[in-house]
Amino acid sequence: MFATIFPSMESILVISLLLTPVISGLLITLFKRKRIIETTTIISSLLILIQGLFLLSYILEKKTISIFDGTFYLDSLSAIMIITISLVGFLTSLYSVNYMGRQYDKLIVDGKKLVRYYQGFNMFLFTMLLVPVSNNLGIMWIAIEATTLVSVLLIMLYTKQGSIEASWKYLLIATVGLSLALFGIIFFYYANSVYDNSFDSIHGMDWTNMVKNAPYFDPNLVKFAFIFILVGFGTKAGLAPMHTWLPDAHSEAPSPISALLSGVLLNCAFYGLLRFHIISSHSIGPEFSNTLLIILGITSLGIAAASIYFQKDVKRMLAFSSVEHMGIISASVGFGVFLGIYGALLHVINHAVVKTLLFFSSGSISQKYQTKSIADTSGIIKTMPVTGFMFLIGGLAIIGMPPFNIFMSEFLMLSSGFSSGNFLASALMILFLVIIFASFGKHLLHMVFGNPKSEMKKGDLGKFSILPMVILVSIIFVMGIYVPEPLQTLIEDATKIVLVGGVHS
């Protein structure tokens, strides 16, 4: 229905999408009072969600939007990202009002820190939204680098030892990783410039331009470049050998932020990796990048399987399960079958939803039990029946129990693994999934059931924290059995892009 109005309507939509978090960030710096900050953040993230949905319906019709002659380019792949970011962002803003509010009352966090938190929160949303929108790869890189810097600020919100260590490691590893990624980008840019005789430096960096010229790139250069990109963005996406920062960063950050980090930021980095996977599969065929993705995917699955059993801290365990799920997504993209990529993109959404639910519920649980260690929390279903139930559903969903949504995407991915012929990788995947099922299940059961150690009065914390969890649980149940129509077509278009790299414009 928007197509009829003059084309600039899309540009207004995109610009407003980007500007809302920036404006609310400014508003927050002006008014310092707690009530106003919270309401502005909620309103801004609600606005983002609505604009995201409009954009989604738009892309469903017109497949792509490109404005300011190519600096901003959206297709169904970036639409999936925007939807996850806006949905999780909105729910996190609701939850952080309750979570930070309680911390504020308990004087863990003072007024200044609260302001800094909400500023960081909005800037985080802005930088993350910038990633899927930008067509120019340099801007995309800067956006991802900015997400790192902003999230470091958010992680070091508390001044205790653990958060300093976590933020230092995160800053160092992420910056090293991203500089590697920049190396790769410049290599691609160089490959583009060397081939294209009518080389205009303005559009050289655009993804659409690169995909168009990809078949003519020099194969060796592309291989070198993709390696740098893979290691660079792989670090940020938490793939195997480079995942070491992830458990520390996610367990030290405040729960709403680690929900954003785990649920959405990893996907943005993987989105960047996916963009370059398309270019390289265009220029030298998908086998090269597929094998690399499978290798990294299976190793990260293996390392996650190895470490979940020994975890003593809930959020570290959840962080390792994010490593596991990013490994599954990258391996199934690597399988390179329509069903597999469809499952992987579906899994991006499912994982974001379930991981956010888990971080929310574990956040309130650790607030009530005043400890993050698994050994001390038990009998949650008794002391906090609603949150306990949510945590149980989230836990069962994350380890792939069927009636929930993750099982559907894992089903698709594993079947694509078998039908694409790499039996060893799929067999390993099933083995690691079972190991993770056993170890995660052990901790989950210990926490949810049994009788609580110290006498604790029954009662959940705050209506606001329950609301986002209820929404998430309903999404998990619905998506477990039925994937809504528009989402199905969106993911199918995105799969067409990734598989064939078919560029519409």
Partner 1 sequence: MDLILPTQIDLLHISAVILLIATFGIVVRRGFSDWLHAYRYQTIILSGIVALIALITGIWELYIVSALTLGIKAIIIPKVLFYVTKKLDSPIKLEINPYVSLRISVIVSALLVAMSYFMALQLPISSDETISVFLPVSFSLFFIGLFIIISRRKALSQIVGLLTIENGLFLFAVVVTHGFSLIIEIGLMADILIGVIISSILLFRMSQTFDSIDIKNLESLRDD
Partner 2 sequence: MSENLSILYIIFAFFSLGVTLGLFTRGQKYHAYFTYIPSTFASFLTIILSVTIFSSEDIHLTFFNIQHLFDFEIFIDGVAAFFLLIIGLISFAVSIYSLSYSKKFDDKKNNSALGMLFNVFIISMILVVISNNVFFFLVFWELMSLTSFFLVIYEHENKNNLKSGLTYLVMTHLGTGFIFASFILMYTQTGSFSFDSFRDVAIIPQYVKDIAFVLAFVGFGTKAGMVPLHIWLPKAHPSAPSNVSALMSAVMLKIAIYGIVRYLFDFNAIGSSPDYVWLGVGIVVIGSISALVGILYALVENDIKRALAFSSIENVGIIFIGLGLSVVFAAFHLLSLSVLAFIASMFHTLNHSIFKGLLFMTAGSIHYSTHTKNIEDLGGLIKKMPWTAMMFLIGSIAIIGLPPLNGFIGEWLTLQSLLAVFQIPSNILQVTLAFAILAFALTIGLAGATFVRLFGITFLSKSRSSKAINAVEVPRLMLIGKAILASSCILLGILPFIGINLIVSAFDLPYTPSSPFETISITNTVDGNFASLLMPGVLIVFISVLVGIFAFVRIIGGKTKTIKYGTWDCGFGNLSEKTQYTATSLAEPIRRIFGIFYKSHNDIDVDFYAKENLYLKKSIHVISTTRNIFDEKLYGKVISGSLFVLDKIRKIQSGKVNAYILYIMITLIALLLFVGFGTHE
Taking the least distance from each CB to partner 2, the nearer of 25 and 400 is: 400
If the CB atoms of residues 344 and 483 are measured against partner 2, the closer one turns out to be 483
Least Å distance, CB 433 to partner 2, is: 7
Q: Least distance to partner 2 from the beta carbon of 24, Å?
A: 35
Q: Does 113 bind partner 1 (CB under 8 A)?
A: no
Provide the 8-state DSSP code for 191. H
Q: Smaller CB distance to partner 1: residue 261 or 498?
A: 261
Q: What is the CA 349 to chain-centroid distance, rounded?
A: 8
Q: What would the 3-class secondary structure string for 15-28 be?
A: HHHHHHHHHHHHHH
Tell the smallest beta-carbon distance from residue 325 to partner 1 (Å).
19
Interface contacts to partner 2, rule CB under 8 A:
168-169, 172-173, 176-177, 180, 219-220, 223-224, 227-228, 230-231, 235, 241-242, 244-245, 247, 292, 302-303, 305-307, 309-310, 339, 396, 401-403, 407-408, 411, 414-415, 418-419, 426-427, 430-431, 433-435, 437-438, 441-442, 445-446, 449-451, 480-483, 488
Number of residues that bind partner 1 (CB under 8 A): 46
Whole-angstrom CA distances from 108 to 10, 87, 103, 105 are: 44, 28, 5, 8
In the complex with partner 1, which residue's Cβ is closer, 11 or 193?
Answer: 193
Q: Is 285 in the site for partner 1 (CB under 8 A)?
A: no
Considering only 3, 32, 106, 220, the residue that binds partner 1 (CB under 8 A) is: 220
189 vs 437, which CB is nearer to partner 1? 189
Site string for partner 1, 295-334 (x = CB under 8 A): ------------x--xx-----------------------
The position carrying tokens 């398309």 is: 278
- Binding partner selected for residue 389 from partner 2, partner 1, none, CB under the kind-specific 5 to 8 Å limit: none
Alpha-carbon gap, residue 299 to 11, rounded angstroms: 42
* Residue labelled with tokens 């993230």: 45
Q: Which partner from the list partner 1, partner 2, none does 44 bind, CB cut-off 5 to 8 Å by kind?
A: none
CA distance 392 to 390: 5
Beta carbons within 10 angstroms of residue 309's beta carbon: 15
Residues 68, 242: Cα–Cα separation, whole Å: 36
Indicate which of partner 1, partner 2, none lies near residue 353 (CB less than 5 to 8 Å, by partner kind).
none
Q: How far apart are CA 1 and CA 233, in angstroms?
A: 37
Min dist CB 306 to partner 2, Å, is: 4
In this structure, what token pair is assigned to residue 387? 């949150």
Number of H helices and E strands in the chain, helices first, is 21, 2
Opening angle at CA 29, ends 23 and 31, nearest 5: 100
- SS3 label, residue 393: helix
Distance of CA 281 to the CA centre of its chain: 23
CA distances to 57, 64, 73, 246 from 490, rounded to whole Å, are 9, 11, 16, 30
Backbone angles phi, psi at 197, to 5 degrees: -65, -40
Question: Which DSSP category does 240 fall into?
Answer: G
Q: Residue 175 binds what, of partner 2, partner 1, none (CB under 5 to 8 Å, by partner type)? A: partner 1
Asked if 375 touches partner 1 (CB under 8 A), the answer is: no
Task: Find which of partner 2, partner 1, none residue 414 binds, CB within 5 to 8 Å per kind.
Answer: partner 2
Rule CB under 8 A: which of 238-277 touch partner 1? 247-248, 251-252
Under rule CB under 8 A, which residues in 124-153 are in contact with partner 1? 136, 138-139, 142, 145-146, 149, 152-153
Nearest CA among 428, 397, 457 for reference residue 303: 428
Closest CA to 325 of 268, 258, 242, 409: 409
Pseudo-torsion of CA 492, 497, 498, 499, nearest 10°?
A: 80
Of 2, 54, 104, 190, which one interacts with partner 1 (CB under 8 A)? Answer: 190
Please give the residue ranges that form the binding site for partner 1 (CB under 8 A): 136, 138-139, 142, 145-146, 149, 152-153, 156, 159, 161-162, 164-169, 171-172, 175-176, 179, 182-183, 186, 189-190, 193-194, 201-202, 204-205, 218, 220-221, 224, 247-248, 251-252, 307, 310-311
